[in-house]
Amino acid sequence: MAVLLNSQLGGDPEDPHSPYNDELIFSKGHASPLLYAMLRAVGAISEEELLTYRRAGSRLEGHPTPRLPWVKVATGSLGQGLPVAVGLALTAATLDRLPIRVWVLCGDSELSEGSMWEAFAHAGYTHLDRLTAIIDVNRLGQRGPTPLGWDTAAYAERIGAFGWHTIEIDGHDLDQIEDAYAEAVATSGRPTAILARTVKGRGVPEIEDRNGFHGKPVPHPQPAIERLGGVRHLQVMLPRPVPERPPHRFPDGELDLPRWDIGEQVATRAAFGAALVALGTARGDVVALDGEVSDSTRTGMFEQAHPERFFQFFIAEQQMLAAAIGMQARGWLPYAATFAAFLTRAHDFIRMASISRASMCLVGSHAGVEIGQDGPSQMGLEDLAMMRALHGSTVLYPCDANQTAKLVAAMADGNGIRYLRTTRGATPVIYGPNDEFPIGGSRVLRYSEADEVTLVGAGVTVHQALRAADQLAGDGIPARVIDLYSIKPVDVDTLLAAARDTGRLVTVEDHRPEGGLGDAVCEAVAGAMRPPMIRRLAVRDMPASATPTEQLRAAGLDADTIAASARDLVWR
Amino acid sequence: MAVLLNSQLGGDPEDPHSPYNDELIFSKGHASPLLYAMLRAVGAISEEELLTYRRAGSRLEGHPTPRLPWVKVATGSLGQGLPVAVGLALTAATLDRLPIRVWVLCGDSELSEGSMWEAFAHAGYTHLDRLTAIIDVNRLGQRGPTPLGWDTAAYAERIGAFGWHTIEIDGHDLDQIEDAYAEAVATSGRPTAILARTVKGRGVPEIEDRNGFHGKPVPHPQPAIERLGGVRHLQVMLPRPVPERPPHRFPDGELDLPRWDIGEQVATRAAFGAALVALGTARGDVVALDGEVSDSTRTGMFEQAHPERFFQFFIAEQQMLAAAIGMQARGWLPYAATFAAFLTRAHDFIRMASISRASMCLVGSHAGVEIGQDGPSQMGLEDLAMMRALHGSTVLYPCDANQTAKLVAAMADGNGIRYLRTTRGATPVIYGPNDEFPIGGSRVLRYSEADEVTLVGAGVTVHQALRAADQLAGDGIPARVIDLYSIKPVDVDTLLAAARDTGRLVTVEDHRPEGGLGDAVCEAVAGAMRPPMIRRLAVRDMPASATPTEQLRAAGLDADTIAASARDLVWR
């Protein structure tokens, strides 16, 4: 890192968000003291701040986070920095079109993570020759030796097979390091991996190359500092980047959302695809990311309309999410879509995205048992729980095409991680194209002052709830119906009013009973002075293959079951 | 697959659970019609059942699941079959010690999943020479060409670099296939990957090698069937395995759980480690799996005591989970442990494990902000939401060492996926070593008939709640305290009684507000005739580095905040 600072890294420490700065990512986030020492050396932080490391209120956390402005993305869950760096390099090369370089410091242990190989594969496939991975092969993981030890040749063979240029060096030889960086910079058409054989704790005999000292302070720091050359106050002046051209931008235009007539049958995933095309025309910063299912999620429509802003990651959901994190870190607005079920594959990346304060949109299609015959492996049944539990997330679940279009546009203006859940099959359009659906709102679809029970649904279950209300009306039970399209934030006022007015709620969701709409409703009304009685309908068994209609009935989410639950509450 | 049936696969279709059968996994689960046709050919299922494919009530789901007894693990989320097969092969070789073979049919698209490379790495590292991956290189994914097309040499170079023997063949040439299988069987010391170049839809000109027909019925089946040779009713008699020896088993012994004295300070993760050692002595079927953090989770203690039943997967959580799925499928009882935060890395594998009806134990350490200085990337703050939303799961969160030991033993006897959440720092022992903690139960730690409010915690927050109750007693407010160590199933009766008796609940959890203890309590009391008022304390902001005590206070989980919330409810 000293050599990198001295000979390669370009950037303006006083303007950490400049698009012309080179990017440096610590994929081995636990090496944070080294990163902070570098920031001290370039004058970004003071000696005093350096000594606040890991203390309450400090920007210098145990693992780097964007609490410190020179840290663009949080690391600390291993195997994520390289995939995110691939996203940064891809963004710089294809969207910003700026000749910056992306440097990543990786550990050898984290090469066991499959996500690293998704990154090697994608960087090789896209020829990211401005990306350099520096792999610290110190042979010792947290609890013992790594599988390959110091066999840098084995690493080189693997990484080389994925289309990378590789260089093996002694990671303590400054000349070899300098030469390797120069070779990396001179390599075109391929990214470069520098496999640096190092000795963990080198220069401090009591810990050097010894197991059991990972993540621990040096036992006797004073003699160690002296052995390593004593206290120094090195200052490095980075070369300030000289911009040749501004970052490339795509033009903005008018927002002309698609419109559907009431009564049409349209899948919300199709409405999402059409709306994303319109949004992409209106906003040049919108990009779409696919995990090899664009024909199913309907991001394929965006690919047709805006091919330069469409990114294919094949079946590598972790790399797709990491790239989205990288893209938003450079100011773009990603919409990354796959089946809701397969977003679980990238859960740890989504979790780290929230720690990175990432601003991005995720779309999960094929939600719930409604998908029908393909069976449970393809059903998103836990996605609401996963997305709701993220810090600062927004969770949306539309029931018709016009509502979907409005939410696709609204989520563009939000913060944090916004999640849209779409449905495979067609549902009737029940809203007009001029209706508005603010995030945090809901729609009361049936209402009277005499309502005795409230049915709360979202997505496919809204339509079942409406039919259940018709049945209940036939029994002389007036029922309120709420379309809770915004699961988080949730419309507490409308739910509290329904609780107060009707005293009885039936929640219906095409999702597991835990963590989704039912829990959101319960939380919302938990503060009521007179809390309501609540019945929660959700997918409680393990579904198999069946038609969508059979699935909804088998799971107890159909109009008959909703009406029966409501009657039971009213007549108990 | 026809050649495999004809020349290699051994097994007894009438005894699908026999340990002597070869294993066959369809990693490309969407090829299910081929699997079902094979089962028809060996006489396992009837012609009539074959025609129930994807219908309600059928065992022949769109993607294979263990609803059909010949399917040991569910597939359909791509990239999982090979890692699970690695688990099966590892189990057969090192635990059962039986000379069965494991065959896996993989797609080429799924080679983009990082989890496949975790599997290639682990199988190479462990020299699983009885494992053969057959990779159907048909060059077309769901929505278009794969990155490598028909370049089987590129695949071979990559897979070979991970320590596999590779064979490239024309996947339509029966002799080449037969020779490749023979070569795989003859290869020792390394697993074999057969890269079979195939043409998707071969023999049916209207779809052959054409995009846009993935997952769709053949447009004109009758001429297609005729071109392919007409309707046949092939029957294949598999060679029945001839057992030379029974599966290896480790001896069972007495269960002698560790015991701690009340007042000792012990981390629940340490208690878990010690209890797992005792359980391993009592039960020979218990195995432990690590993701390179055994010194942190304390599975390292099991490694010391029972080295033959300890498995190191390095930092590859997906492969660790997949191996656990494979081990339980062959009758072993896995305890797989890593940081709670890093279990999110394997979320999709855990999800598929529930569809596989897997019986296994997961342990997540370093839960919550309590970990202190390392910061949010290392904090399990969403794990309860993830684990609760799994079908049939059990979620346990002990607060002291003796309770932990009892729960580690109790979860061995459960079903489905059992999750134990442990804490990094030491907490005081408050229970005696003879206390019992049934799953689904709770402990009422403070109780009087005059209680005006109930404090519900688990893990670290139990201790804060006890101190809050002391404070409240000083204010003349008698407070009930419930240790809700079983988050799922939850003790509805005790919570309903508290709701009825006190009318006010304060829930406290070292977890995000969504999907965890607070939601579990709300669901439990939602059915009450007079539901209580509920205040929910949870981690609502983004934590940084700080001491554990500072973290609990900053998140509002400390005794002062709990007491203030309770007072507010009582005095409002």
> In a 3-state reduction of DSSP, which class is residue B179?
helix
Query: How would residue B530 be classed by pLDDT, with cut points 50, 70 and 90?
Result: confident
Residue from B54, B444, B458, B329 nearest A550 by CA: B54
Catalytic residue among A23, A317, A370, A452: A317
Q: Which of A210, A297, A382, A492 to mutate to test the interface with B (most CBs of B within 10 A)?
A: A382
Residues 6+ apart with CB under 8 A from B169: B176, B177, B179, B180, B194, B195, B196, B197
- Mean pLDDT throughout A256-285? 98
The pLDDT assigned to B473 comes to 98
Q: Evaluate if residue A528 carries a pLDDT over 90.
A: no
Query: How would residue A572 be classed by pLDDT, with cut points 50, 70 and 90?
Result: confident
* CB atoms B62 and A373 under 8 Å: yes
What distances in angstroms separate CA A562 from CA A462, A494, A517, B531, one per listed residue? 11, 20, 15, 21
Q: Is the pTM of this model over 0.90?
A: yes
Q: Evaluate if residue B528 carries a pLDDT over 90.
A: no
Residues of B in contact with A379 (CB under 8 A): none
Before A489, cis peptide (omega within 30)?
yes
The pLDDT assigned to A232 comes to 87
Residue from A271, A243, A260 nearest A396 by CA: A271
Unique residue bearing structure tokens 């199709």: A270
H or E element at residue B301? helix B300-305
% chain A with pLDDT above 70: 100
Distance CA B440, CA A372 (A): 33
* CB atoms B388 and A315 under 8 Å: no
Q: Evaluate if residue B396 carries a pLDDT over 90.
A: yes
Distance CA A320, CA A12 (A): 29
The model's pLDDT over B24-64, given as tens digits with 9 standing for 90+, comes to: 999 999 999 999 999 999 999 999 999 999 999 999 999 99
* CB atoms A512 and B390 under 8 Å: yes
The pLDDT assigned to B232 comes to 86
- Taking residue A106's Cβ as centre, other Cβ atoms within 10 Å add up to 27
Q: Evaluate if residue A315 carries a pLDDT over 90.
A: yes
Inter-residue contact A167 to A181 (CB < 8 Å): no
> In a 3-state reduction of DSSP, which class is residue A337?
strand
The model's pLDDT over A103-133, given as tens digits with 9 standing for 90+, comes to: 999 999 999 999 999 999 999 999 999 999 9
Distance CA B526, CA A531 (A): 9
Judged by a CB distance cut-off of 8 A, whether residue A154 touches chain B is: yes
Query: How would residue B357 be classed by pLDDT, with cut points 50, 70 and 90?
Result: very high
What letter does residue B258 receive in the DSSP assignment?
-
A157 catalytic? Reply is: no
Query: How would residue B527 be classed by pLDDT, with cut points 50, 70 and 90?
Result: confident
Nearest by CB: B161 against A157, A523, A528:
A157
Q: Evaluate if residue A519 carries a pLDDT over 90.
A: yes
ipTM of the modeled complex: 0.98
* CB atoms B341 and A347 under 8 Å: no
**What stretches of B306-359 show up as alpha helix (H) in DSSP?**
317-329, 340-343, 347-355
Inter-residue contact A362 to B337 (CB < 8 Å): no
Judged by a CB distance cut-off of 8 A, whether residue B316 touches chain A is: yes
User: Which long-range contacts does B38-43 make (Cβ < 8 Å, 24+ apart)?
Assistant: B38/B1, B38/B5, B39/B13, B39/B68, B39/B70, B41/B5, B41/B234, B41/B235, B41/B236, B42/B5, B42/B13, B42/B235, B42/B236, B42/B237, B42/B238, B43/B13, B43/B235
Q: Which amino acid is at A210?
A: R
- Taking residue B403's Cβ as centre, other Cβ atoms within 10 Å add up to 26
Nearest by CB: B118 against A114, A160, A547:
A114
How close does chain A come to B261, measured CA to CA in Å? 30
Q: Evaluate if residue A527 carries a pLDDT over 80.
A: no
The pLDDT assigned to A530 comes to 84
What distances in angstroms separate CA B322 from CA A382, B34, B397, one per listed residue? 19, 23, 24
- Mean pLDDT throughout B13-33? 97
What letter does residue A171 receive in the DSSP assignment?
T
Unique residue bearing structure tokens 């947290």: A142
Distance CA B412, CA B360 (A): 8
How close does chain B come to A251, measured CA to CA in Å? 29
Nearest by CB: A355 against B77, B376, B526:
B376
Nearest by CB: B512 against A300, A381, A391:
A391
The pLDDT assigned to A219 comes to 93
What distances in angstroms separate CA A279 from CA A65, A269, A312, one per listed residue? 31, 15, 19
Before B489, cis peptide (omega within 30)?
yes
